[in-house]
Structure 1
Amino acid sequence: MLKIENLTGGYSRLPVLKDVSFSVKSGEVLGLIGLNGAGKSTTINEIIGLLTPFQGTISIDGMTLEQNQSAYRKKIGFIPETPVLYDELTLKEHFETMAMAYDIETSAALKRVQPYLELFRLDDKLDWFPAYFSKGMKQKVMIICAFLVDPELFIFDEPFLGLDPLAIADLSDLLADEKAKGKSILMSTHVLDSAEKMCDRFVILHKGEVRASGSLSELRRQFGDETASLNAIYMALTKEV
């Protein structure tokens, strides 16, 4: 599980996050939501190690980045909002590079990704270069790379952007499968209708602080409306005070 305790952090000693605490349990999908600039991407960058916290601790299964960088990073499968691919590498070479980075035998890695290639209709494009991929295809490649490493924690930053409706449904099914296996899933998204259906709990960030957290039923009780949608709660809680 992911555990964040009293996290304060940001850029150039300027705090963006202020005493943020939450956890993602095994077998749970947690939605991280908030307005642009609320601190969602900063939180993710702190978790994956691109930023160093000013204060607080971040651990996965009780392990921090400082204790063992390699083992910590192997626990994470990260899908960024904007796909990052190497123009000079074919699709197959991307998978081979990921396998080397995570100490996975190449043939085992290619066998592991085959079902995902077929699911996302990329199995006939192993020799293609990224220049020939649409944005949606590039996003699918990033998703497959995350599943290749078989992590304990999946982190999705706006995973539905660029995906067609069929791919969104396929990804939703994959996340349900990983959840059933006991994997932890942290999802940052503005697609609240999908988040409402997929997530077990939510953390609403506003101005770098946790404004509210809990299941949809718990948020409804906090909001004072037992029938309110996640979108209605989100809009009310992130209004300027």
Structure 2
Amino acid sequence: MKAVTGGYSVRRPVLHEVTIRVNPGEMVGLIGLNGAGKSTAIKHILGLMSPQSGQVRVAGVTLEENRVLYRSSTAYVPEQPSLFPNLTVKEHLQWTAMAYAIDRETAAAKMGELAQIFRMSEAMNALPDTLSKGMKQKVMLMSALLVRPPLLIIDEPFLGLDPLATRALLGALEEARSVHGSAILLSSHILPALERRADRLVVLHRGRIIAEGSPAEVKSQAGLSGPESTLDDAFESLVLDAEGGTFRA
């Protein structure tokens, strides 16, 4: 997205000339307080909202130029799992494969691999009502990773995941970007994970970008340096500075 201003009201836009670039094979972390505009930015990228000004391109096209290519080039995992109550885990994955025109043999092999990675092999024939929240989240993540899209957007992926599932997800994301060249936009409040894994960070506050760059560059922009400084420290400093020294969540 480039210089996007937008939101739910023309008179009171949520985003103010926000530019977010995610290159192939790159993981970008999107961070900010609740209400900073992260979800609104994601909705614009997904084509669920139209910018008041600026432009959003995915796979080189806007939604208006090529709706099919735009939609098929993106996979999205929301913060709250949303599953069909009458479809098993396996049927969810099969439905996703059909929606993205993945051939059966390729889909079956990848489904088996993902089931093992996320320790879901014994739950493949289970219905959503019998799954924990963490397991439902795994189904959403498995569906997105099955697609191997040019752009993968994940909102708060670590919530509800146990330590082994978190490690599995990080490994799968690393494969998606390094092997398959997927661009990954990851919105999360778990800053240590982004500090270790993200190539670049975008810090939003009240709909404006207040810092961006590598984790080291963001810490430098916050006036921090040295091995003892953390991304959590940098984020707090940046927000305090943006608020004029008075923190208001």
TM over 0.5: yes
Tell me the matched-pair count.
238
CA contact (8 A) 1:29 1:184 kept: yes
CA contact (8 A) 1:113 1:147 kept: no
Q: Distance in 2 between matches of 1:95 and 1:29?
A: 24
Structure 2, gaps ≥5 residues long: 245-249
In the other structure, the counterpart of 1:138 is 136
Q: Distance in 1 between matches of 2:235 and 2:96?
A: 37
In the other structure, the counterpart of 1:180 is 178
In the other structure, the counterpart of 2:39 is 41
In the other structure, the counterpart of 1:108 is 106
CA contact (8 A) 1:74 1:149 kept: no
Q: Distance in 1 between matches of 2:48 and 2:83?
A: 18
**Of 99-108 and 32-41, the range deviating more from structure 2:** 99-108
Give the fraction of aligned pairs with identical amino acids, expressed as a percent.
Answer: 44
Matches within 5 A, 1:76-225: 76-181=74-179, 182-225=181-224
CA contact (8 A) 1:95 1:110 kept: no
What displacement does 1:61 show? 2.8
Q: Does 1:10 align with 2:11?
A: no
In the other structure, the counterpart of 2:237 is 236
Deviations 1:27-71 (A, max 9, x none): 211110000000001111111111111111111231111111111
**Of 96-105 and 78-87, the range deviating more from structure 2:** 96-105
Q: Distance in 2 between matches of 1:107 and 1:87?
A: 26
When the two structures are superposed, what TM-score results if normalisation uses the length of structure 2? Answer: 0.91
Aligned to 1:22, what secondary structure does the other structure show?
coil
RMSD between aligned residues: 1.3
CA contact (8 A) 2:59 2:70 kept: no
When the two structures are superposed, what TM-score results if normalisation uses the length of structure 1? Answer: 0.94
Deviations 1:120-166 (A, max 9, x none): 11112222100000000001000010011110111110000000001
Q: Distance in 2 between matches of 1:211 and 1:76?
A: 26
Q: Distance in 1 between matches of 2:169 and 2:98?
A: 25
Aligned to 1:104, what secondary structure does the other structure show?
coil
Q: Distance in 1 between matches of 2:189 and 2:169?
A: 16
Q: Distance in 1 between matches of 2:30 and 2:138?
A: 21
In the other structure, the counterpart of 2:48 is 50
Q: Which amino acid aligns with 1:207?
A: R
Q: Which amino acid aligns with 1:198?
A: R
Aligned to 2:98, what secondary structure does the other structure show?
helix
What displacement does 1:110 show? 2.4
Q: Which amino acid aligns with 1:20?
A: V
Aligned to 1:30, what secondary structure does the other structure show?
strand
- Runs (4+) off by over 6 Å: none
What displacement does 1:12 show? 3.7
